[in-house]
Structure 1
């Protein structure tokens, strides 16, 4: 039996909760694992250890982080939670950086009215983990390729340059507006911080509860799931089973 456990950061923002819940359900449907559940690394419940314990004891669980980059939660928290379950729990990679995320960001910029002379700053959450910072910088490079123009990166916490510094530097580069591309999964605390920056325009996050989840996000999560199974040597015959709603399935819509 194969189970998927999607894991998001967690938020107290009701819009963010709805948006991530919709995303998690879309991933569950796309993967079609026999058992599907969702958990959080912070703020909301269930936490990851509780969710893992609630899944069937015979299941191989693929933990799919709905996180945009590596960082402390993925490198430490998720692996610590998975460790007691041994080979039964497989931790997949983060969603980003990925060129498909850059395409979504480019669409958000276009929706916000990006002009030819506007300068782009990628607004990333930031991390105390060097790998997470590197992933944010690479996401900026990928967005620059997608938009065919330079992109600088500013972090909202824990890393430098700060978003405020990056916006100020971009504004000093010449005429035109500064547009902050929100490299954030959903509405919440960090997006409100981005909106308080001096950027002329701040785009919407990747997810919104009132719009369909972009196919690229679902495809990336699905890729991470199957890549993790492949890396763990799980036979495809064990994966290709229809999903059933078991009593152990945790409803992703619950706070």
Structure 2
């Protein structure tokens, strides 16, 4: 017997079974790295999926007030923004003034998301398309190139403002019987602007208020920069036999112009719109409209402006 034959006889009886088992195990290992379409899978396991990202915060609402030396103005606007926060919990709501009061709008924007950028919507607490809305707000936004901003359209005209004006008139003493009184009339006292679009907005609000009052004449008038003045509008109503004239205050907060207009009233004078709930809802509506694309200026990164 040769040496190789003797070696074969010395192999264990189940060596063939062991060999098949080893081949099967190796084949199974290789198949785990091959996908169904025949491509080879990586030998290392894929990295775990990243944790779900937290939803980004909504843009900051920056309410822009004109500013006034009357201390009641700042208190009123601050209380109004508290109503806004109650209506939209979690929304970052800030205040900035064009002039006369702190914080100034430029300071509010400079401190907003400092060093890390962010989004903001400037919502003017102004009632028409005047110089402040068209020029001052975009210029202030340009001083904060770290922010992406929108400038919302002004509050007026809008039916929510009309409801607030009507409520303020009834609080001052207007009654249902005054609607039918042949001598009744209303002067809608506004701040005034040289911009014709601003005066057109005030006239539109006056027409809407007249409808809300059942057809009572409502004459727009202005405390500055436009005509007629409040006294002139009152005389025009008197010339038409409307001696029972009320003054509706088309101002967002107390101030010199609001007080001056109220002082001219021969009968009742309504308070400014102030913290009326409709005004808070309208602020949020203008904010939402700006996010949806309706804004004074398109969204832009002002660093390139």
Q: TM-score, normalised by structure 1?
A: 0.83
Please point out which of 34, 37, 40 is paired with 2:94.
Answer: 37
1:134 aligns with 2:200: yes
Distance 1:69 1:155 in 2: 13
Q: Which is higher, the Rg of structure 1 or of structure 2?
A: 2
Which shows bigger deviation, 19-28 or 119-128? 19-28
1:82 aligns with 2:141: yes
- 8 Å CA contact 2:161–2:279 kept in 1: the answer is yes
Find the counterpart in structure 2 of residue 242 from structure 1: none
Please point out which of 210, 219, 226 is paired with 1:144.
Answer: 210
Find the counterpart in structure 2 of residue 72 from structure 1: 131
- 8 Å CA contact 2:185–2:242 kept in 1: the answer is no
- 8 Å CA contact 2:81–2:93 kept in 1: the answer is no
Instruction: Report the 3-state secondary structure (helix = DSSP H, G, I; strand = E; otherwise coil) of the residue aligned with 1:122.
Output: strand
1:168 aligns with 2:235: yes
User: Structure 1 unaligned runs (5+)?
Assistant: 208-212, 234-255
Find the counterpart in structure 1 of residue 120 from structure 2: 61
Instruction: Report the 3-state secondary structure (helix = DSSP H, G, I; strand = E; otherwise coil) of the residue aligned with 1:202.
Output: coil
1:12 aligns with 2:65: no
| Higher RCO (C-alpha under 8 Å, 6+ residues apart) | 1
1:104 aligns with 2:164: yes
Distance 1:68 1:5 in 2: 16
Distance 2:273 2:143 in 1: 33
**Displacement of 1:51 after TM fit?**
1.0
Please point out which of 277, 286, 290 is paired with 1:215.
Answer: 277
Instruction: Report the 3-state secondary structure (helix = DSSP H, G, I; strand = E; otherwise coil) of the residue aligned with 2:247.
Output: strand
- 8 Å CA contact 1:154–1:163 kept in 2: the answer is yes
Distance 2:287 2:168 in 1: 26
Which shows bigger deviation, 32-41 or 154-163? 32-41
RMSD between aligned alpha carbons? 1.9
1:58–1:22 CA distance, 2 compared to 1 (3 A):
same
- 8 Å CA contact 1:41–1:77 kept in 2: the answer is yes
Q: State the Cα deviation string for residues 47-90 of structure 1 (Å, max 9, x = none).
A: 21211110003210111111122211111100111134467011
Q: TM-score, normalised by structure 2?
A: 0.70
- Misfit runs of 4+, over 4 Å: 84-87
